[in-house]
Structure 1
Amino acid sequence: MFDSKLTTYKNLSRLDAQGIIFVTLRRRTDVLKRHVLNAPAAAWRRVELDVPHRKSRNHRGLDETIRLGKDYRPLSVAFVLTILLL
């Protein structure tokens, strides 16, 4: 797992090319929040976080595909609404 400031797109691309699965945490900018909140209702799905002793286990999730730049292959991005708004 990487924080968005820890590495570069080029390094993430290298990990991807090696078949290494990674998670990166993106900064929750106002632009990103608006993009996610304006996604159509049909794009969201129910996500259950199976974590013991958690108050709220049911959330809404949004999956998208993005490119880090024109030279990179598409990557999957997932947003969980309750975490995004924290």
Structure 2
Amino acid sequence: MKLIINQENALRILKSKLNIIMHLKGVTLDKIIPTDVAPKLKTIREYVFYPKEVVKDWRTKIKTNAIKDILNGNIDLFT
């Protein structure tokens, strides 16, 4: 949630800077359509520790119980 707020604040700052630049050049911008930031926050992997240790990769649809290997950085299984 904090990431979305930060992105919205950054977009607001960029929009105001762009308005200043365009005003100095004599161009007016009535509307700037903000892009949706939510799709970038999709879940890639789900880690379940209890009752059964399982890692699910939502992009590749691979499911494994080798959670300790995955946490140690061995994610070659998902590529």
Q: TM-score, normalised by structure 1?
A: 0.20
Looking at both structures, which has the greater relative contact order when contacts are Cα pairs under 8 Å and sequence separation is at least 6? 1
Tell which structure's C-alpha radius of gyration is larger: 2
Structure in which a larger fraction of residues adopt strand: 1
Structure in which a larger fraction of residues adopt helix: 2
Q: Give TM-score, length-normalised by structure 2.
A: 0.21
